[in-house]
Amino acid sequence: MSRPKSRSDTLLGLAFGLAAVVLFSGQALVVKLVGDRYPMNEIVFFRHAFALVPAIVMVMHQGGLGTLRTGRFPMHLARMAAGMSSMLLGFYALRLIPLADATVYNFISPLLITALSVPLLGERVGVHRWSAVLIGFLGVLVMMQPGQNALEWGVVVALSGAFCSTFVNLTMRMLSATETAASVTFMYTGMSFVVFSISLLFAWTTPDLIDFLILASLGLGGGVAQYWYSLSLRYAPSALIAPLGYTSLLWMTAAGLLVWDEVPTAATMIGAAIICASGLYILYREARRR
């Protein structure tokens, strides 16, 4: 929007942003529920297949097929590779570690984005943000408790997923200079759908009707969440929307406790507090710099 954002615009943006976070959190619950019964490639296939529906709506709403013209196809491929890797690793981590832990480890992505934006995007990062990055990584160490616990495979998978998610955000920053949100979303979803359709030749378990509906909700919910998140950034500043992502820890902790009796450890909660505080401070400094 070119006009100044009113208070009603900001409230609407916050509502869309929070609703998107809740839907994104719902994806994790679905994967946790059915993740042991189906191959991971099949779960990700359903995520992209049914996400095509809201992606097409998004394209038509933002200008039609003309918005898909691009001269940056290699960058779209890079975004697809990073996105598919991030989703596979993130979903797989949900099989291996508690919901709250998987959520917190994903919170290190803003820290990695800040660190990698220097060599990859040529951005300048001051001492305040570098300090926040280092403190955030200290929070990761608190959660991992090196020297007391053996490094779990699930932690390695979750951290690898967060690393790939970082490259998703970096490639989207690069693409946003020339591409529309509808183009980026549709290109990623469409290309990923093709790749995972081929993967079904190697691993497939036919779901029953109930599980089919659950898997379909994974894609529809994810696609709608992506659309709502893009709408939230239209109505409210990103500095207000981004922190809403940290509320997912509340939903994940509650769901893990109620459904799977997962009680977060003291190390998880202390590490989460450090990581979230560091990420919020980075967002504050970036907003102030702009």
Task: Give 205-257 pLDDT, tens digit per residue.
Answer: 999 999 999 999 999 998 888 878 877 877 887 777 878 889 999 999 999 99
Residue 3 has pLDDT above 50, yes or no: no
Residue 2 has pLDDT above 50, yes or no: no
Average pLDDT over residues 135-149: 83
**pTM, whole model, 2 decimals?**
0.87
241 lies in some domain: yes
273 lies in some domain: no
141 lies in some domain: no
195 lies in some domain: yes
pLDDT tier, 5 (very low <50, low <70, confident <90, very high otherwise): low
101 lies in some domain: yes
The whole-number pLDDT of residue 134 equals 94
Average pLDDT over residues 113-142: 87
- Complete DSSP assignment for 132-195: HHHHHHHHHHHHH-BTTBPPPHHHHHHHHHHHHHHHHHHHHHHHHTTS-HHHHHHHHHHHHHHH
Q: How far apart are CA 189 and CA 256, in angstroms?
A: 29
The 3-state DSSP class for residue 37 equals coil
281 lies in some domain: no
The whole-number pLDDT of residue 1 equals 41
Average pLDDT over residues 52-71: 84
Mean pLDDT, all residues of the chain: 87
Range of the domain at 215: 7-126+147-262
Asked whether 238 and 176 are in contact (CB, 8 A), the reply is no
The whole-number pLDDT of residue 71 equals 83
The whole-number pLDDT of residue 47 equals 94
Residue 148 has pLDDT above 80, yes or no: no
Average pLDDT over residues 93-118: 89
Give how many domains the chain has, as a whole number: 1
Asked whether 163 and 107 are in contact (CB, 8 A), the reply is no
279 lies in some domain: no
275 lies in some domain: no
